Chain A
Amino acid sequence: MLETEQLTKKFKDTVAVDDVSLVLNRGESVGLLGPNGAGKSTAIAMISTLMKPSSGDVRLNGKSVLKKPDDMRRVLGVVPQKIALYEELSAYENLKFFGRLYGLSGNKLEQRIEYVLELVGLADRKQELVKNYSGGMQRRVNLAAAMMHEPEVLIMDEPTVGIDPQSRNHLLETIRKLNRDEGMTVLYTSHYMEEVEKLCDRVYVMDHGKVIAEGTKEELKAILSDQETVLIEFDQNYPELFTKLSEIEGVQHATVEGQSLKLIIPRGTRMLAALFHEAERYGAQVINVNVQTPTLEDVFLRLTGRKLRD
């Protein structure tokens, strides 16, 4: 349905998006995962026809949208990272304004406003000014505004940044409902791994402007199928010991998390004994050991050498 081909955006000497090719099939929920500065928002802006690419193409149903973006804009609902609303207007007034921009009027407009407000759970507070809402409520109206014209594709750029868990859950449930119950195609950008894991069928992993991996969640985790993650918690942080443990043969990646050390090691190897032996020799006390199957976070760590929220 929607695809990008070798999409590239350069700003002077910086390449923000480098040769990115994505595909969104109808009814699919696709995640675009990457840390801050990975180029996700720039890619989204180009896909949304809001920014001209330096090279490459964006196609809707096989037709390029770069020169004639109207068709694309008609089917697209964009939820930007910022709260793209008038704070001095109420949720109702905002939705009415954006609905009228899309040519809605009269009963149809009123019904649509009621529908999207119900969808985001703000029907009973629609007359309050947006500036008086909590961050989470503002994010929900932000989504509602993008839904006013019944888009086929919903593009969301970090829609849950800085909101409370309750609003976050509400938002995620709403998106899941739109995708699964109403068949809406979703492109979901986030640096929250668990959100992407929860919502998306397929994932593109971006770093430094490039797509470094793509596939279903299972396919991505399979990258680490021959590995496992060991989290060792000590009674305190031992920098010297942590360095030594990281250098033990077979350790593929190590991350210090406070007084814990997270190691990615080959599955099935008997390395734990060696690790404990070294810790004992150093006089460090092990509080807890946890052997985990890899998460997307671990996949990202493995692929990029850094954590998503670094």
Chain B
Amino acid sequence: MGAFLIKDIMLLLRDRSELLILLAMPFLLIAILGFSLRGIFSGDLEALEMDIALVSEEDEAQAVASIQSEIGEMGLPPEQAQALKQAAESASPQTMLVSLLEDENLSELVTVERMGRVQAQESLEKETVDAVITLPQGFTRDSLRNMLFGESSGGEIELLAADLSSPQTDVLDSILNEFVRTVNFEASISRLSGQESAAEVSGGIETITAREPITSFQYYTIGMAVMFVLFVGSTIAGQANMEQKQMVFDRIRLSNRSPLLYLSSKAIAAAAIVFVQLTLLFSLSALLFRTFAADSWTFWSGIAIISITLASAVGCLAALMVAITLRLESDAVPAIFSGGVISLMAFVGGSFMPLDGMPELLRAIGNWTPNGAALSAYFSWLLEPDLGQLTGPLMRIAVVAAVFLLMALALFPRKGGAA
């Protein structure tokens, strides 16, 4: 096994054109895409403009007055009661939210129009607005109780969006979440799809945590890395084809080595190369573009776990391609794979752009590609280093890898006897 591995790695290191494809090309693309598409990922407001309907189901002044009346009945010293009444008036959350949305900076991004619930719902259906923010009855009272007395779990904001997965909704979600954090609510924001009414999903509350958005460099470092590791599969299959054509494969067969040893060495060589490739790309990107701010062992351990899983899957993919290549005695498989299939896999896997606006089927397919699942795992880890969140994508990669391996074993021409 060692002899095979050393040989495969030496061959790759001496093949400059392959090295260019595997290392230089993705790095170049990370630089180009990272710089040129920076705006889309970090504040190109034009691309994210949206119209919002704001529905308030309560009389804010009356709600504030009601709280002030409660304060008066609490028997507090007059100075303290007066201060609390003033705080209730000035910290009214509804006013603060409206001010936030109509802020000079944010007004470039969102246009807010106050509407009644029915009108807002109709506008959403007609797509004249992109989202509806509803402040339900009791929002001000609950929020102020929470802020002033710590007695309530806070107010609840409902966000109703035409497209839950659009980048605009994500941005609005973040804004509302930031608002929640700012006023120190322990509140939640209900995110509802455009097809569902608020009433139907009462109780279906998602707690939103504040998170840093993914930058263009992070996106394309990961996107290009998970795409270009796939080329290792075709490189290894190309080598196998050359070995067959040049009859080196026959020489190997004549040495009485198990054919499966040859196949497994190809898979392991591919996995090792992919892991080194990912390590180099991530390290260089982190060093030169400051892509990953996180420098904790935990963060990099998670990245390593995902990389090892992806590398294993590409190893199995390489084994499959080697098996088909040797069976067909043709270099068509690596050629077709590197010439088209990789681009297709990269597209559905989300390497070129986020798939938020794409059809559900396409996203589902993408999630089951090793690169797409790995992309998802890396992003999850980047946003929140929680091993539990990696289970899904890593399981998908493992399943796909197992399928590749089984197919490789079935198709590999064992030739244990004569021929």
- Are A67 and B417 closer than 8 Å at their CB atoms? yes
Q: Report yes or no: B246 in contact with A48, Cβ–Cβ below 8 A.
A: no
CB distance A51 to B419 under 8 Å? yes
Taking CB atoms, residues of chain A closer than 8 Å to B14 are 88-89, 129
For A146, the chain B residues whose CB sits under 8 A away are 251
A51 vs B254: C-alpha distance in the bound complex, in angstroms?
11
Cβ contact of B255, chosen from A83, A102, A129, cutoff 8 A? A102
Contact B253 A50 (CB under 8 A): yes
B interface majority secondary structure: helix
Residues of A within 8 A of B361 (CB): none
Most chain A beta-carbon contacts within 10 A, residue among B11, B250, B257: B250
In the assembled complex, which residues on chain A have CB atoms less than 8 Å from the CB atom of B3?
97, 100-101
- Mark each residue of chain B from 76 to 103: 1 if its CB lies under 8 Å from any CB of chain A, else 0: 0000000000000000000000000000
A84 touches B417 (CB 8 A): no
Q: Is the CB of A86 within 8 A of B7?
A: yes
Q: Are A78 and B251 in contact (CB under 8 A)?
A: yes
Query: Chain A interface: which size bin?
Result: 35 or more
Q: Are B419 and A93 in contact (CB under 8 A)?
A: no
- B418 sits at the interface (CB 8 A): yes
Q: State whether A93 touches B10 (Cβ < 8 A).
A: yes
Is A49 touching B418 in the complex (CB atoms < 8 A)?
yes
A46→B418 CA distance, assembly (Å): 8
A48 to B255, CA, bound (A): 12
Contact of B248 with A by CB under 8 A: yes
**Contact at A52–B417, with CB atoms within 8 Å?**
yes
**B15 adjacent to chain A (CB < 8 Å):** yes
CB pair A51 B418 closer than 8 Å: yes
Q: Distance in Å from the Cβ of B273 to the closest Cβ of chain A? A: 15
| CA–CA, A70 and B253, complex, Å | 10
Q: Is the CB of B255 within 8 A of A52?
A: no
B419 contacts A86, C-beta separation under 8 Å: no
Using Cβ atoms and an 8 Å threshold, which residues of chain B touch A66?
Answer: 417-418
Q: Once the chains are docked, how many angstroms separate the CA of A50 from the CA of B246?
A: 14
The docked-state distance in angstroms from the alpha carbon of A70 to that of B417 is: 9
Q: Are A82 and B247 neighbours in the complex by a CB distance under 8 Å?
A: yes
Contact size range, B: 20 to 34
B256 at the interface (CB under 8 A from A): yes
Give Cα distance in the complex from A66 to B415, angstroms: 11
Chain A residues with CB below 8 A from B10, complex form: 88-89, 93
- Name the A residues within 8 Å of B418 (CB-CB): 46, 49-53, 58, 65-67, 69
Could you tell me if A84 and B247 are in contact, using CB atoms closer than 8 angstroms? Answer: yes
From known contacts A52-B419, A89-B10, infer whether A101 and B247 are also in contact, taking CB-CB under 8 Å.
Answer: no
Does B399 belong to the interface (CB within 8 Å)?
no
Chain A residues near B364 (CB, 8 Å)?
Answer: none
B331 nearest CB across to chain A (Å): 16
Query: Quick check: A76 and B417 within 8 Å, CB to CB?
Result: no
Q: Are A97 and B250 in contact (CB under 8 A)?
A: no
**A73 within 8 A of partner (CB):** yes
Cβ-defined partner of A76 (8 Å) among B6, B245, B247, B254: B254
- Would A86 and B248 be within 8 Å (CB), given that A65-B418, A69-B417, A93-B10 are in contact? yes
**B20 CB-CB contact with A under 8 Å:** no
Contact A98 B419 (CB under 8 A): no
Within 8 A of A (CB), among B248-299: 248, 250-257
Binding site for B on A (CB under 8 A): 46, 48-53, 58, 65-70, 73-74, 76, 78, 80, 82-86, 88-89, 93, 97-98, 100-102, 129, 145-146, 149
Using CB atoms and an 8 Å cutoff, list the residues of chain B in contact with chain A: 2-3, 6-7, 10-11, 14-15, 245-248, 250-257, 417-419
Known pairs A67-B418, A80-B250 / 14 extra A-B pairs, C-beta < 8 Å:
A49-B418, A50-B418, A51-B418, A52-B419, A53-B418, A66-B417, A69-B418, A73-B253, A73-B254, A74-B256, A86-B7, A88-B10, A89-B11, A98-B255
